[in-house]
Structure 1
Amino acid sequence: MTRKTSLIALLGYLALSFLLYGRGFGNGEIFQPGGDPIVYIWCLNWWPFALSHGINPSVSDYIWNPTGFPMWWANSIPSLALIFSPITLTLGAVRSWNIINLLTPALNAYACFLLIRYLTKQTIPSFMAALIFGFASYITAQQLGHISLSLVPFVPMTVLLVVKRAARELTRIAYITVMASMAIVQFGISTEVLASSAFFGLVAFLIFRGRYRNSHDLFGLATDTVIASVIAVLVLSPALYYMAIGSKELPSVINSPKMFSADLLNLLVPNPTIWLGGDSLQSLAARFTGNFSEQGAYIGIGILVILILAIRASAQERWSKPLWITLAVTAVCSLGPVLWFAGINTRIPLPWLIFTKVPIIRHALPTRFTLYVSLVIAIYIGIWLSISTGSRKARYAATLASLLFLLPNPKWFAFGDVTTPAALSKLEVMQALGTNANAVVLPYGYLGNSMLWQLNSGMAFKMAGGYVGFVPQSQWKYKAMMYLYDAEQAPNQDSFNQAVAEFCASNRVTAIVLAPGASKYLATAVSNLPWPKDAYGDTTVVRVPNL
């Protein structure tokens, strides 16, 4: 019966995910076409492409050539790339991307369902409560294009594993093996989620330790977790090596934790990615820090009220106090180093300010900790729904009504197409660029779709540029970077020519591809370069001479 109900639950979550996100799935277009999704699509192709061609996948010189880019710092999702490589190699990386995105909310919810059902031993309450995590506003926001952050089933699965080991329901060998394996796979999905999971896992362990150290095997749990971590580190040592040598290309802070912190008002005010209320409150949500993909703190009044009722109903339970303390600590950390309210920096310092000075963890973005807030809320409400006293039907109805306010806004999630210039298509790229080409493709980096165009060419050329999250620090020494990114205009054509010539000579560029979408100023400046040019429809290829 357990296997049957588990399968029904999984199918239910899959059906809901497809209903909410699957419109247009069969047309071959891209789910959420845009900058970040294109990066992930490129990465899904990169790992099987590199391995099948005998290329070291840890450093790619197909972007930022000839320097190359440290792929372990690029959220390059090698775990997903390898798992879905059969689909990628037969149907293409776009199809893999689309499938992963449709699976994501369902897998998140299903993993949370397994955790809550273990805790409550009841199916329907677990199924309903798991929706709070699997389809949380955090997940909805990250579904705009951050698959490495939205696919998080290992977070509740890790909690389940820890709870079972503490209760002595797992052998040491089984726990260590599964924990190490999940850590390795999670490392290949998101190092940030792995690191933050470890951090908040330690916080929760310390909070729960006082209540459970005599009744549960917490010493054995801690020992076995350390052993699993050591095994994972040993297995991942090659990746860690390449991360270490590639760290020199990182900025001091990849993104500002202050600017990517949860706004306190976002707890009650949705952004436009949420169906009910999102559009009407868009002007207010626009004030929140970060962008819409990083505004995942929303839980809504309904769920907040139910959470309060759940905490009150379980106040006398042994586990309740450490659980709500864990919730409070996690929620406060998600607010970041200073308190933001309605887009206003109150300048009130918060505890996370301390961690902005700590190596590695300072790169974490606090607003993403709302992932753990939604998990704890789901656990609380799942237990509340399973209580046998009182009107269970009323609790079900209230929860279902509150869940409606988490549904994604359909107009923000769709499939679309990205046109590849003829000059970069498989049919014409060799004629346009020749063999062993290293091109500057405009629009440059995150401003355009050069990563997808390179993929669609069959990886027929390399690029002195690209977009994988940040620009290697060694590239900022070139004045041309400011011109290519349209961050600054050259004072005159001669200055532009000189800066671009220096960049091309240092990076062994053979051609500049001027595709539609470049700014008028940049297109004019490139067209006026004193180098040979060929037109391919609406695209111009500038031949770079030996400099």
Structure 2
Amino acid sequence: MLAHGARVITDGVYPFFSDRMNYPDGVNMMANTSVMAVSLPMTPVTVLFGPHVAFNAFLTLALAFTGISWYLVLSRQFVSSRLAAWVGALFATFAPSMNSHANGHPNIVSQFLVPLIIWRTLELRKPGRAVRNGLILAGLVVWQAFINLEILFMTAVGVGIFSVVMAVVRRKRAGARAEVLTFLRALGVTAVVTLSLLAYPLSVQFFGPQSYHGLPEFVRHFGADLGSFTAYAERSVAGNKVSAGRLAQNSSEQNAFFGWGLVILFLGLVVWMRRSAAVLTLAGLALLFGAMSLGPRIRLNGVDTGVPGPWSLLHSVPVLNSAVPTRWAMAIAPVVAIVLAIGCQKASDLMKAQPSARGPVRVAMITAVAMALVPLAPTPLQTTHMDPVPEFVTSGAWRQYVDENHTLVSLPPADATFPDPLRWSAFTGQEMRIASAYALLPNRNPLDPSDRTALFAPPWRPTSGLMSSIKQGNPTPEITETRREMTLADLRYWKAGVVVLTPQERDIELLRVMTALLGYQPTWTGGAWVWDVRKLVDDPKATLS
């Protein structure tokens, strides 16, 4: 299994501990971004070369295979012009939303199965191969389910709507009825096989141990700003961090930044090819996905308009309440890519049919595509040097404190803002047990036991909250006996064997507070301050005073 300090790989990989047992409560792998269809086959790479190499290989190959897959499907099924296929494939692969998610969500940019699923769904209508076509599509769907269910769901919605609309449009054509019946028979094969194979994994995801029911409220309100559709993303040539940051929740969720040039070109192509039912249907899908991406309340240039969006009717529906609405805008990129390819193909056909117009058409098409896509060209992904794994970990000094009954507690405990302890555990092959983690876990609100919405970390504890608050720059509170009692309770909850603080921002404040709480000085060992707390945790009569 891949294990890496980056968010996408660590979701669902690392356990946390409870005071009820000596074993981790664990996390629900299906309900987290475990990416098992990729991480399991890449296990040899992880073991031989480490998680960093595996992560970079995963991300690089994900984008490469996505581009290759789009090119093959577009060039063999939708257009005959290689140039048209390249234009569509490059945009689908390096659209602003893809470049945005590439900085932390390789599972989302792993879309190499999407064009294959679209192609094989359209193939279901061909007679004589219902079982074969159904089985092939089922295999692709199951494969995608173990990469990212969110992308699979969006693909299914888009392809499903397109298929229904086209069936209605073509209902009067000769053989349309037989074509629909063939499609439904093959789709039935796909449904039976897919549900049979995914029934257990999905039951674990939604009803198994450590499952959750919906994302936190603030995430479910992540909607695309209406002004972002004509703006440029932070990692596009024409974009900048300040303006893009004002229109998006964070740098990884810039899903709707298409820019004025592409919006105008897309609308122009739709008008130009308006006699094509397929193109009009694709345009309708783009509008639908755009409307859904606005979230429960529509925002315009950073201001809440107070107007409810279409998603307000859906964001509390079970299963859909686990979706991030702004990501529906990602589904627009493949639609635009297909329309771009078809538009370039029509321009090519026009030049062949009317040689006298070849020059003007070529200039017009190249100019329009360049003006739309060049400003969207991706800039290099942001990288940063990680702090080295402390000698306390690399030397194996941790082994005298951590065993089957004890964990390592870092300051602050590992979470999304401080993932370093996850890398330390990965360095040891996850032999070093750590308290806390960064994973999607159900809320355990003692005031509302029915609340099982997701958290991005284990349930809040007084000590973890205190340390995170200090790390964020908040004032250091007074150390009272009550705080000491809560700290001791937390250490026992975590089955702590050792508390470790490495050099970092506000480390002096963290050092002073933990020393005051425990009542004794730490030892500087292997590049870290270390408090041995085994006696406090193991002796039920021990106190902090």
User: TM tier, shorter chain?
Assistant: 0.7 to 0.9
**TM-fit CA distance, 1:138:** 0.7
2:338 is the alignment partner of 1:353: no
Question: After superposition, what is the alpha-carbon deviation per residue over 1:174-233, rounded to whole angstroms, capped at 9, x for unaligned?
Answer: 322222222222121112222232233333333333113455523433443343233223
Match of 1:241 among 184, 200, 203: 203
Question: Equivalent residue for 1:20?
Answer: none
**TM-fit CA distance, 1:139:** 0.2
Q: Which amino acid aligns with 2:431?
A: A
Q: Following superposition of structure 1 onto structure 2, how do residues 86-105 of structure 1 map, counting pairs within 5 Å?
A: 86-105=44-63
2:486 is the alignment partner of 1:499: yes
Question: Equivalent residue for 1:38?
Answer: 6
Q: Which amino acid aligns with 1:464?
A: A
Question: Equivalent residue for 2:465?
Answer: 482
Match of 1:389 among 350, 357, 366: 350
Question: Equivalent residue for 2:409?
Answer: 440
* 170 and 380 in structure 1: CA distance in 2 versus 1, 3 angstrom threshold: farther
Q: Following superposition of structure 1 onto structure 2, how do residues 80-479 of structure 1 map, counting pairs within 5 Å?
A: 80-117=38-75, 118-166=77-125, 168=126, 171-213=129-171, 215=173, 216=176, 217-246=179-208, 250=212, 252-254=214-216, 256=218, 259-276=221-238, 278-279=239-240, 282-387=241-346, 388-390=349-351, 391-410=361-380, 412-414=381-383, 416-425=385-394, 427-431=396-400, 433=402, 437-444=406-413, 445-448=415-418, 449-469=420-440, 473=444, 475-476=458-459, 478-479=461-462
SS of residue in 2 equivalent to 1:513:
strand
* 517 and 473 in structure 1: CA distance in 2 versus 1, 3 angstrom threshold: farther
Question: Equivalent residue for 2:504?
Answer: 517
- C-alpha RMSD of the superposition: 2.8
Q: Which amino acid aligns with 2:46?
A: T
Sequence identity percentage: 18
* 484 and 204 in structure 1: CA distance in 2 versus 1, 3 angstrom threshold: farther
**TM-fit CA distance, 1:158:** 1.1
**TM-fit CA distance, 1:426:** 5.1
**TM-fit CA distance, 1:476:** 3.1
Task: Please say if residues 250 and 473 of structure 1, whose CA atoms lie closer than 8 Å, have aligned partners that are also in contact.
Answer: no
**TM-fit CA distance, 1:256:** 3.3
Question: Equivalent residue for 2:514?
Answer: 526
Paired with 1:531 and 1:460, the residues of 2 have a C-alpha distance of 28
SS of residue in 2 equivalent to 1:179:
helix
Question: After superposition, what is the alpha-carbon deviation per residue over 1:385-439, rounded to whole angstroms, capped at 9, x for unaligned?
Answer: 01111523531343244322222233x4236343111112254332464665412
Paired with 2:142 and 2:216, the residues of 1 have a C-alpha distance of 23
Q: Which amino acid aligns with 2:466?
A: Y
**TM-fit CA distance, 1:160:** 1.2
Structure 2, unpaired ranges of 5+: 352-360, 446-457, 541-545
Task: Please say if residues 124 and 134 of structure 2, whose CA atoms lie closer than 8 Å, have aligned partners that are also in contact.
Answer: no
* 111 and 248 in structure 1: CA distance in 2 versus 1, 3 angstrom threshold: same
Aligned length: 494
Question: After superposition, what is the alpha-carbon deviation per residue over 1:2-59, rounded to whole angstroms, capped at 9, x for unaligned?
Answer: xxxxxxxxxxxxxxxxxxxxxxxxxxxxxxxxx9852444479x5xxxxxxxxxxxxx
Q: Which amino acid aligns with 1:421?
A: P
Paired with 1:472 and 1:485, the residues of 2 have a C-alpha distance of 18
Deviates more, 1:228-237 or 1:130-139: 228-237
SS of residue in 2 equivalent to 1:291:
coil
Structure 1, unpaired ranges of 5+: 1-34, 47-59
**TM-fit CA distance, 1:284:** 2.6
Paired with 1:78 and 1:285, the residues of 2 have a C-alpha distance of 33
Question: After superposition, what is the alpha-carbon deviation per residue over 1:114-144, rounded to whole angstroms, capped at 9, x for unaligned?
Answer: 3322112221111112211110011011011
Q: Which amino acid aligns with 2:197?
A: V
Q: Which amino acid aligns with 1:524?
A: R
* 199 and 303 in structure 1: CA distance in 2 versus 1, 3 angstrom threshold: same
Question: Equivalent residue for 1:18?
Answer: none
Task: Please say if residues 294 and 326 of structure 2, whose CA atoms lie closer than 8 Å, have aligned partners that are also in contact.
Answer: yes
**TM-fit CA distance, 1:101:** 1.4
* 157 and 473 in structure 1: CA distance in 2 versus 1, 3 angstrom threshold: farther
SS of residue in 1 equivalent to 2:334:
helix
SS of residue in 2 equivalent to 1:542:
strand
SS of residue in 2 equivalent to 1:152:
coil
* 79 and 255 in structure 1: CA distance in 2 versus 1, 3 angstrom threshold: farther
Task: Please say if residues 486 and 522 of structure 1, whose CA atoms lie closer than 8 Å, have aligned partners that are also in contact.
Answer: no
**TM-fit CA distance, 1:517:** 2.5
* 508 and 112 in structure 1: CA distance in 2 versus 1, 3 angstrom threshold: same
**TM-fit CA distance, 1:272:** 2.0
* 150 and 142 in structure 1: CA distance in 2 versus 1, 3 angstrom threshold: same
TM (norm. structure 1) is: 0.82
2:527 is the alignment partner of 1:538: yes
Paired with 1:214 and 1:250, the residues of 2 have a C-alpha distance of 47
* 523 and 200 in structure 1: CA distance in 2 versus 1, 3 angstrom threshold: farther
**TM-fit CA distance, 1:462:** 1.2
Deviates more, 1:385-394 or 1:62-71: 62-71
Q: Which amino acid aligns with 1:389?
A: L
* 477 and 336 in structure 1: CA distance in 2 versus 1, 3 angstrom threshold: closer
Q: Which amino acid aligns with 1:536?
A: T
Paired with 2:268 and 2:62, the residues of 1 have a C-alpha distance of 30
* 253 and 207 in structure 1: CA distance in 2 versus 1, 3 angstrom threshold: same
Paired with 2:61 and 2:128, the residues of 1 have a C-alpha distance of 28
Paired with 1:63 and 1:316, the residues of 2 have a C-alpha distance of 61
Paired with 1:533 and 1:123, the residues of 2 have a C-alpha distance of 66
Task: Please say if residues 7 and 416 of structure 2, whose CA atoms lie closer than 8 Å, have aligned partners that are also in contact.
Answer: no
SS of residue in 1 equivalent to 2:271:
helix
Task: Please say if residues 230 and 259 of structure 2, whose CA atoms lie closer than 8 Å, have aligned partners that are also in contact.
Answer: yes
SS of residue in 2 equivalent to 1:446:
coil
Paired with 1:327 and 1:245, the residues of 2 have a C-alpha distance of 33
Paired with 1:473 and 1:396, the residues of 2 have a C-alpha distance of 57
Q: Which amino acid aligns with 1:144?
A: N
Paired with 2:171 and 2:395, the residues of 1 have a C-alpha distance of 63
